[in-house]
Structure 1
Amino acid sequence: MDELNPSSGDSLSKMSLCGDGEEGDTGPHQTHRPESPMSSCVSMKSDRSMERPPAFSGDSTPCDQSVWTTGTHTAPSGHQNLITNDPTINRSRDTNPDVVLQRVLETHKSSMKRKVEHICEGIINPENQTLLKSIYTELYITEGQSEGVNKEHEVQQIEAAVRIRRQDTPINCNDIFKPSPGQEKHIRIVMTKGVAGIGKTVSVHKFILDWAEGAANQDVDFIFLLPFRGMNLVKDEGYSLHRLLLVFHPELQGLKDTQKYEGCKMIFIFDGLDESRIQLNFHIQEQKLCDVTQTSSVGVVITNLIQGNLLPSALIWITSRPAAANQIPAERISQVTEVRGFNDPQKEEFFRKKIRDETQANKIISHMKTSRSLYIMCHIPVFCWISATVLQEVLPHDDSKEIPRTLTEMFTHFLIIQTNMKNQKYDERSEMDRQKLLQSNKEDLLKLAKLAFNQLEKGNLLFYEEDLRECGIDVTAASVYSGMCTEIFKEESVFQQKKIYCFVHLTIQEFLAAFWVIYCYVSNNMEELETFLTRQKKVSLDDLLKAAIDKSLQSENGHLDLYLRFLLGISLESNQELLQGLLPQTESSSESLQRTSQYIKEKLINQNKPHNVVLTKLSGKKNISTERAMNLLLCLLEMKDSSLHEEIDVLVKSGKNLSPAHCSVLAYMILVSEDVLDEFDLKKYKTDDIGRERLMIAVRNCRTARLGGCNLTASSCKTVAAALQSPDSHLTDLDLSYNEILDSGVKHICVGLEFSCCKLENLRLQRCSLSAVSCSALSSALRSNSHLRLLDLSINNLQDSGVELLSTALRDQHCTLETLQLQCCSLSAGCCSALSSALRSNSSRLRLLDLSNNNLQNSGVELLSTALEDPHCKLETLQLWRCKLSAGCCSALSSALRSNSSCLRILDLSINNLQDSGVKLLSTALEDPHCKLETLLLRRCSLSAGCCSALSSALRSNSSRLRLLDLSYNNLQDSGVELLSTALEDPHCKLKDLLLYDCSFSALSCSALSSALRSNSSRLRLLDLSYNNLQDSGVKLLSTALEDPHCKLENLLLRRCSLSAVSCSALSSALRSNSSHLRLLDLSDNNLQDSGVELLSTALEDPHCKLEKLRTDRGEFVRRR
């Protein structure tokens, strides 16, 4: 689990499932910290929640509740994580420690261990307690934070489409005060941020537990845990620091000499800053405190401690949800860290640990993966727990109608299950009918729902006795409510008789608040909604829902997003039926929901239409943000309305132009789709540049993104980079070729590549107007833990300096690149030295290197050849076409190929002036048993028949492994082809593909080729004789070979060979032969006439004909089987 409640063994009377902020029994009280609802820390300062102005919560949950998944993490015994050279920290210790102090230290450590060593699921009782270290999984804590994280509803943050995140620097929990490698700064104050339920408090508890058990940070004497929730209740009283510590840590009573604090190393942990209602004033020095016995307000004591006036050597750790973290001035913080939630493997790991039955676990995991919106929300560990709880109960019944597929259905079932647990716990009755069950608890649930709505409007997630009384809840029986809704509502004794109440998670409060609105509507109790509606009487359901939609769209931070989804979801009759027993009757809502759906669709389409800027400003209207628009689509999913998807799909298939508005909606639809797109091809959508920009955000939910030639700019790359950084992104293949993204665009992409969650494997950036500057950023990205396997930078002005930068990356052990394409990059022999060095590196994994169309010359290839002979070189494909080479380079290449170390399988030397002498040198290598070459491309290399003798000899060698030989565009003539044909008949020849396109031979060659094809030894599968003057007589000879049972030819290409219908007659006969294996026949650019094509067509109908594709000037014929 990521974070369930740690709880002490001696405080088991109340239920609890709450993570961050749950401190167990902290001395004389028990606190279980829920998260604050506030997106602004100012509104959290009010003394009485009921007195605050109406404002819904901007955050996600009262309880930073997560669920730990596996394993145990312990540091080596005695491991010193906080060692520092700072003289204020490592002060000299008393060599003869006071016996009393020693006793206090030992008692304190034992007390802290008891508080944090257990974690509980569900109802707190001894049976549900688990040792924290037995299930703890090291949370992903990172240095820095996500940008933009402070402004969104916290669940919406998880689903956000576009966000730039800084590079992750993982930090072990026990190393929170340890400087990063290369840093020398002293870290005194750490701020750890994280959304609700993500695991902040459990990280704190594990830190304390490892210290208390002697596993880490043994140079620390005291660790003081001070939850803001508890301190809120004493904020108006006068306290010294020592007296405040006694409240939370009564074991310090024995420490009479407070001067002893000065000689001890200590850590203060302030948990839950977002819940603080204490005034922390760092701008005005209210009172300077320098002694732990000086009395002031709690806020002044805390600010003096943070400022270093009190105990300047003390270390301080503050945890907070992002929205409230700015209460502490940035200059006071030494280091900011962020706690992330579950990634996909951790989600699955949690379900398997929570659900012991492997078959059931597999079933639940499969179901969750079919719902993208639900699976994404499992990033929050508490939602994983809710989902597991529900599906464990629902799936065994095998009723597909009952299986939750939406957020509303999941929470509705959760409410029913927890209500049923109350009956089992208190009444000891067997499972009741759902309707009767809810009816029996109706009064209590409705009071909770009213409380949820009232306090959500006020922005509160922590409630006090007066709040409960306002909703008719008897505070003396609050524990019964806690028991009835075991995982829904919590009561905590904080100081003696002072109590705090909360819902376990904000999402539960939002669900109940939405239910209260529907209940009031169905019951005609509109007075309860007077703050929600401008008019209370004669309001239709769609009017109510439209008002809620409008109100949610006014929010800049999305604090009503989930509430709106629940509201629309509960409006469905199917969900109301699940809640029968609570609602007086179900509301026939189909027409109202249709009108509401239409209203949402109009909002989505109209908000993206071009507006008059002046009129828009005068009216005060704003376009809906990407996040709000996505939430409206998720609302449609909650309503099970797919009409918008169908309308857009019809529009796309029609081939009509898409407006920018349609593009926005289409992009949102792709993002929230349950299915991941295999390929997103931006060119497929007919729209303008603005429309394409809006479609860009969809790349996050596809595996392959084809964005080439779409007029994209450097700005577009920010969107792509955000997708690469997203933990739930599926993007593995990205093509941005032929866009002017410039070096600045590549820098954005590289930011994404460096993230550990980036899954990109293939990146194509052909002709993107890049320079060596891009290579610096790419080199850095490749040296990080990038997954990149293929990088194509062809047709960019990288020059030698750029390739030298890339070469440094190839030598790095973290670089996983296997394919590097650098065609036409203005390179010279100067870059080959760096590349050769990289290829010889033991770390290099490069398998394919394309340096074609660069001025490497012989000297450059000679440098590369030395690398090919190195045992560390793993290169299998080397492409060097049009590199201004001559026969001079062939000697070095031949030597490399003969080396036992060479791994080269494919060599392309086309369009170089090698001449016959160069090929003769290469032929000697082909005969060597160490040569592993299987493909040799020698197109347009100024060759004649003179080289064919050497090649023929090589092909006949037992050592030759050559499978493909391309000699196209060379003047081989008939004599050369005849020499090659003799090799094809040799049993040692392994050649399967022979390409002789435009080699100046005639029908005379066909006799030798025909003989070779009929040979039992021939293995030829592909023969390309295009652009040679074969005429009908030559094709007749070839046709006889096709009919021979020994002929294995499958592909025959005869483009522009001066053929007529006469050839078709012979070929038709061959195709109808039972012996022919031909699958593809290309006769394009020949004068076959209608009669010839008809002859071939009839052959296609013959049952013996195996031909699958026939190409003529009339087009391509594909045979249907």
Structure 2
Amino acid sequence: MEPTDFSTETVEQQSSEVPSDPQHPTQLDSTCEETQMAAFKESLLKILEDLNDSDFKKVKLFLENEKPRIPVSKLEDADRIDTVRRMVQTYYTNTQKVTVRILKKMERTDLVKKLPEGILVCKESIDQCRRKLKDKLKRKFVRVFEGIVKAGHPKTLLNQIYTELYITEGGATEVNQEHEVRQIETASRKPHRPPTTITCKDIFKTPPDTDEPIRTVLTKGVAGIGKTVSTQKFSLDWAEDKANQDIHFIFPFTFRELNVLKQKFSLVELVHHFFTETKEAGIWIFEDFQVVFILDGLDECRPPLDFNNTQILTDITESTSVDVLLMNLIRGNLLPSARLWITTRPAAANQIPAECVDMVTEVRGFTDPQKEEYFSKRFTDEEQTNTIISHIKTSRSVHIMCHIPVFCWITATVLEDVLKTTEGGELPKTLTEMYIHFLVVQAKLKNVKYDGRSGTESPWSPETKKMIESLGKLAFEQLKKGNLIFYESDLTECGIDISSASVYSGVFTQVFIEERGLYQDQRFCFIHLSVQEFLAALHVHQTFINTGVNLLSEEQTTSQSSGSAQTQFYQTAVDQALQSPNGHLDLFLRFLLGLSLPTNHRLLQDLMKQTGSSSETNQETAEYIKEKINNKLSVEKSINLFHCLNELEDRSLVDQIQQYLRGGGVDTVDPSPAQWSALVFMLLSSDKDLDEFDLNKYDDSEEALLALLPVVKASNKAVLTVYDLSHEGFEGLSSVLRSQSSSLRHLALSTNDLEDSGLKILSDGLRSPDCELETLRSDKVRI
């Protein structure tokens, strides 16, 4: 199907003659419309007859400058009756708005009052348009792809698998550049006292503490957390008459679709282009309707949105580039009566000026009970469901990642296959094991479905290996650039032609996705960022094992067999991950180190050489990581390195701390910084709520307080008895009070040194606008 041409020339040509097509929007299709239009034309003719000849010429002059323009040749000798006929043929239901605009320019607002009130579309046509639009949205959203995205594959009923997400109100549009796994881990530690939650159907509901209606909602959330599914559920509930029936029209857009639009549109033309039902109904005026625009995936918007240097547009019939159109819609210059729901990953949230957003919400994914609800819906066998739920609780890293609905799907896919094929064998516990199994499952599916091979053969045929190698290279090269959506030019840079990419997406439908827009443009992405990071790590590791080339280092070696070369390879990866201020290589590093284990190599047998790292190399890598932890890293970097140690199956630091706790507490020994970090990791990774943290259970020294400040920050209440607290200790506590991400609401502090200097430092923290402490109790002061 060829794209519709919205050029001015085409519109002028179409509008210059009376249309003969009964589907054309100017064709009257009901008695109601005929009656309305007849009354309007009569009123318009009377207005033109009230004008003197000079003013009538001005009207024709203004019409020549309207969009679409009525050609001069059609107006030059036209009398008042001909002019009315031309206007109606050209603008149809928009004639009223054009007339009002021209009369205002002529400063004849007295004549505006003589026009009929209301819009020139009858209720029957509006109702019919709504029914058609609802039917369209039902067809589009009633079933969703759960991982599989190609035609011909089964979809899942959205209402069957939908689990209400944890959407919280509040927050700001500030940039959050941290790796999204860090953000998930932070969210998983919160809430003993969760913030206000919202269901997606109430996203525009006016908060109880204000009378101001909500126009624009900005919803943040990491990749795969469920932002898109939430908007789909919102649209489906409306289409099925289950919610928000005060809304006349919902128009869902994705930035992926909008990215490929090169020609200019007016807002009306853009709506007509994607939702032809409105054009067929002759609806050109939307001010009198309650309209919701959904703009999904702001982080995928390719044109930069420069809100400070863009033209102001107030006419919904004026054509411009799509980015300018969107910015004026978001600013409220266009259709201020409309509501907007914009979704984005956190790193792109600041593209929208704060003054344009009425409410910020955040999708935090599944709570622990919701994870169990998801798996219960996913599997009908209760015993299998309980086995899977029990298993994911045994691995904290897997359990944390299950906050992300897409990862729940990956986990379910893997564990379902493993339970069938291993007959009670060991289930994958680490992230690396989970993703290796996921890749193996997909390779088996590809072999059985497309190659006619049995599921018991090695999954790594030469063709499959080539595909994995190409996808791994693409994943790594684009990960370095920060690209998550790939167009033809991105593929070409990695040596993949567009036809090969289509084949890859055709046979690895649950790994690599091809999408086509209205113009059949092709764009690709991996099913989730973590899949891209895993394949990137696999590519880097495979390249080193097979060729000795270290893609992470400028100094290359061709001797991959020596232990020193292998050790240097992994140490380089650790160093690069630590140098990233935002943790963008955190998950990549976990996968890379996990791939070094011989047990994981065996799972990838025949895909790469079986020269897995020696136990000595793995031990040296683990010791190198412990040295880094001992250097008092930030809590986020330290926690990721503990996850890395788990991937290497080294739990010695955590075991030591647990032994200390069982033997009388850490105050009986002199813990190293690494051991303190291990305690922090244990407490923050615990599945128990940090409702109250009592420092005395561990140690009452200032060293303990400073080491465990991340735990204080993550707790709802902290009981701290610390004597001889120095300036550094008070400053540490003050920093917790000043932190935007602090959960601390109640602080009980006992110290013999709360002098004026200490009180001043604490007061500085209490005065911070980000401080949300509610009670402070002390031996000497009570607030």
When the two structures are superposed, what TM-score results if normalisation uses the length of structure 1?
0.53
SS at match of 2:517: strand
Partner of 1:243: 269
Matched to 1:535, the amino acid is Q
Contact between 1:724 and 1:752, CA under 8 Å: does it hold in 2?
Answer: no
SS at match of 1:296: coil
> Compared with structure 1, are the counterparts of its residues 768 and 341 closer, same or farther at alpha carbon in structure 2 (3 Å cutoff)?
farther
- Find the partner of 1:462 among 485, 491, 496: 485
SS at match of 1:152: coil
- Find the partner of 2:347 among 323, 327, 337: 323
SS at match of 1:657: coil
Partner of 1:533: 554
1:545 Cα deviation after fit: 1.2
Output one character per residue of 1:591-631: Cα deviation in whole Å (capped at 9) or x when no partner: 222221121111111x22xxxxxxxxxxxxxxx32101111
* Distance of 1:662 and 1:642 partners within structure 2: 12
- Find the partner of 1:626 among 625, 630, 635: 635
Matched to 2:574, the amino acid is I
Matched to 1:449, the amino acid is G
- 1:1011-1050 superposed matches below 5 A: none
> Compared with structure 1, are the counterparts of its residues 428 and 751 closer, same or farther at alpha carbon in structure 2 (3 Å cutoff)?
farther
Please tell me whether residue 106 in structure 1 is matched to residue 131 in structure 2. Answer: yes
* Distance of 2:647 and 2:556 partners within structure 1: 27
Please tell me whether residue 208 in structure 1 is matched to residue 220 in structure 2. Answer: no
* Distance of 1:753 and 1:163 partners within structure 2: 18
* Distance of 2:738 and 2:394 partners within structure 1: 26
Output one character per residue of 1:712-749: Cα deviation in whole Å (capped at 9) or x when no partner: 769649869999987xx9x9xx994635698979999x
* Distance of 2:423 and 2:710 partners within structure 1: 37
Contact between 1:265 and 1:314, CA under 8 Å: does it hold in 2?
Answer: yes
SS at match of 2:165: coil
- Find the partner of 2:750 among 738, 745, 749: 738
- 1:230-629 superposed matches below 5 A: 230-234=257-261, 236-256=262-282, 258=284, 260-284=285-309, 286-397=310-421, 402-433=426-457, 435-437=458-460, 441-524=464-547, 526=549, 530=551, 532-538=553-559, 540-605=565-630, 607-608=631-632, 624-629=633-638
Partner of 2:32: none
SS at match of 1:267: strand
Partner of 1:997: none
Matched to 1:585, the amino acid is Q
1:104 Cα deviation after fit: 3.3
Contact between 2:392 and 2:398, CA under 8 Å: does it hold in 1?
Answer: yes
* Distance of 1:708 and 1:320 partners within structure 2: 43
Contact between 1:660 and 1:687, CA under 8 Å: does it hold in 2?
Answer: no
1:514 Cα deviation after fit: 0.3
Please tell me whether residue 657 in structure 1 is matched to residue 683 in structure 2. Answer: no
* Distance of 2:172 and 2:366 partners within structure 1: 16
Contact between 1:569 and 1:635, CA under 8 Å: does it hold in 2?
Answer: yes
Please tell me whether residue 666 in structure 1 is matched to residue 679 in structure 2. Answer: yes
* Distance of 1:746 and 1:480 partners within structure 2: 59
* Distance of 1:378 and 1:544 partners within structure 2: 30
Question: Gaps (5+ residues) in structure 1?
Answer: 1-90, 609-623, 755-762, 774-1121
1:440 Cα deviation after fit: 5.5
> Compared with structure 1, are the counterparts of its residues 413 and 439 closer, same or farther at alpha carbon in structure 2 (3 Å cutoff)?
farther
SS at match of 2:144: strand
* Distance of 2:130 and 2:714 partners within structure 1: 54
Output one character per residue of 1:496-545: Cα deviation in whole Å (capped at 9) or x when no partner: 3310111000000000000001110011162xx55643334446111111
* Distance of 1:304 and 1:148 partners within structure 2: 21
Contact between 2:447 and 2:459, CA under 8 Å: does it hold in 1?
Answer: no
* Distance of 1:232 and 1:214 partners within structure 2: 31
> Compared with structure 1, are the counterparts of its residues 719 and 262 closer, same or farther at alpha carbon in structure 2 (3 Å cutoff)?
closer
SS at match of 2:303: coil
* Distance of 2:161 and 2:187 partners within structure 1: 33
Contact between 2:256 and 2:300, CA under 8 Å: does it hold in 1?
Answer: yes
**Higher mean C-alpha deviation, range 408-417 or range 194-203:** 194-203
* Distance of 1:442 and 1:493 partners within structure 2: 26
Contact between 1:422 and 1:486, CA under 8 Å: does it hold in 2?
Answer: no
Matched to 1:158, the amino acid is I
* Distance of 2:602 and 2:540 partners within structure 1: 16
1:345 Cα deviation after fit: 0.7
Question: What percent of counterpart residues are identical?
Answer: 47
Partner of 1:695: 708
Partner of 2:158: 132
Matched to 1:202, the amino acid is V
1:399 Cα deviation after fit: 6.4
> Compared with structure 1, are the counterparts of its residues 184 and 349 closer, same or farther at alpha carbon in structure 2 (3 Å cutoff)?
same
* Distance of 1:626 and 1:713 partners within structure 2: 19
Partner of 2:95: none
Partner of 1:77: none
Work out the number of aligned pairs and report it: 645
Matched to 1:633, the amino acid is F
1:98 Cα deviation after fit: 6.2
- Find the partner of 2:253 among 226, 231, 245: 226
Question: Gaps (5+ residues) in structure 2?
Answer: 1-115
1:211 Cα deviation after fit: 1.8
> Compared with structure 1, are the counterparts of its residues 534 and 648 closer, same or farther at alpha carbon in structure 2 (3 Å cutoff)?
farther
Contact between 2:709 and 2:732, CA under 8 Å: does it hold in 1?
Answer: no
1:251 Cα deviation after fit: 2.9
SS at match of 2:708: helix
> Compared with structure 1, are the counterparts of its residues 428 and 705 closer, same or farther at alpha carbon in structure 2 (3 Å cutoff)?
farther
SS at match of 1:441: helix
SS at match of 2:366: coil
Contact between 1:143 and 1:170, CA under 8 Å: does it hold in 2?
Answer: yes
Contact between 2:218 and 2:360, CA under 8 Å: does it hold in 1?
Answer: yes
* Distance of 1:262 and 1:626 partners within structure 2: 51
> Compared with structure 1, are the counterparts of its residues 669 and 137 closer, same or farther at alpha carbon in structure 2 (3 Å cutoff)?
closer
> Compared with structure 1, are the counterparts of its residues 436 and 425 closer, same or farther at alpha carbon in structure 2 (3 Å cutoff)?
closer
> Compared with structure 1, are the counterparts of its residues 472 and 766 closer, same or farther at alpha carbon in structure 2 (3 Å cutoff)?
closer
Higher RCO (CA 8 Å, separation ≥ 6 residues)? 2
* Distance of 1:660 and 1:159 partners within structure 2: 22
1:152 Cα deviation after fit: 1.5
> Compared with structure 1, are the counterparts of its residues 320 and 678 closer, same or farther at alpha carbon in structure 2 (3 Å cutoff)?
closer
CA RMSD, 1 decimal: 3.9
Contact between 1:368 and 1:374, CA under 8 Å: does it hold in 2?
Answer: yes
* Distance of 2:385 and 2:190 partners within structure 1: 34
Partner of 2:55: none
* Distance of 2:190 and 2:445 partners within structure 1: 43
> Compared with structure 1, are the counterparts of its residues 172 and 334 closer, same or farther at alpha carbon in structure 2 (3 Å cutoff)?
same
1:220 Cα deviation after fit: 2.2
Contact between 2:142 and 2:158, CA under 8 Å: does it hold in 1?
Answer: yes
Q: Which has the higher helix share?
A: 2
* Distance of 1:724 and 1:317 partners within structure 2: 25
Contact between 1:453 and 1:510, CA under 8 Å: does it hold in 2?
Answer: yes
Output one character per residue of 1:878-922: Cα deviation in whole Å (capped at 9) or x when no partner: xxxxxxxxxxxxxxxxxxxxxxxxxxxxxxxxxxxxxxxxxxxxx
1:478 Cα deviation after fit: 3.5
1:128 Cα deviation after fit: 3.2
